Amino acid sequence: MTSVAEPLTRDLALRRAFSLYPTGVVALAAEVEGAPVGMAVNSFTSISLEPALVAISAARTSRTWPQLRGVPELGMSVLGHDQEQFSRRLASREGDRFGDQAMQRAEQGALLVDGAALWLTCRPYATYDGGDHEIALYEIADVQLFDGIEPLVFHQSRYRSIVGDPPRG
């Protein structure tokens, strides 16, 4: 058993505890007034098959979420293992988040990131109070899987890749 020299504050203890659960990194993106708007989240989960629903949560302090919450269609791209730098740009508060990142635009403005492991084109379904976050449910309108692309993973506050077992002989 490992002990900590000083007791952790509740907030720091919770941050560390939550970081133990590995998550994927999802780019939320849409075209807003003719320009790409996006952010990275790792609070993403499947909710239901019928109807097909996913949930994300966004911090109330986010300056990007208010621009995305009202779009009719939102792109959700589970980033690929080699897209760490793009994820960092999406998570930044300043600068050009998209750079030369290739994307596809869906009919109603959802933006989907090339090189991702999964694309979901989603429409707003419901929102809920989540304390210092807003929880948003989205109905999946379209899904595209890219089986050959391993997802980017965030675990213990670091980006990681999934390493599978070697093939059995």
- Give the residue-averaged pLDDT of 104-119: 97
| 163: in domain | no
| 162: in domain | no
- Give the residue-averaged pLDDT of 115-140: 97
Report which of 43, 57, 79, 92 is spatially closest to residue 159, judged by C-alpha positions: 79
Predicted local distance difference test score (pLDDT) of residue 24: 83
| 160: in domain | no
| 2: in domain | no
| 76: in domain | yes
The string of pLDDT tens digits covering residues 4-56 is 556 778 878 877 776 666 678 999 999 999 999 999 998 999 999 999 999 99
Q: Could you identify the residue written with the tokens 């080699």?
A: 82
The string of pLDDT tens digits covering residues 135-159 is 999 999 999 999 999 999 886 777 7
- Using CA atoms, how far residue 157 sits from 30, 51, 64, 132, in Å, is 26, 33, 21, 20
Residue 76: domain span: 23-151
Report the distance separating Cα 110 and Cα 104, nearest Å.
8
Structure tokens at 45: 């989960």
| 70: in domain | yes
| 27: in domain | yes
Report the distance separating Cα 117 and Cα 138, nearest Å.
19
| 4: in domain | no
The pLDDT confidence band at residue 126, using thresholds 50, 70 and 90, is very high
Which CATH number is 77's domain given? 2.30.110.10
When divided into structural domains, the chain yields a total of 1
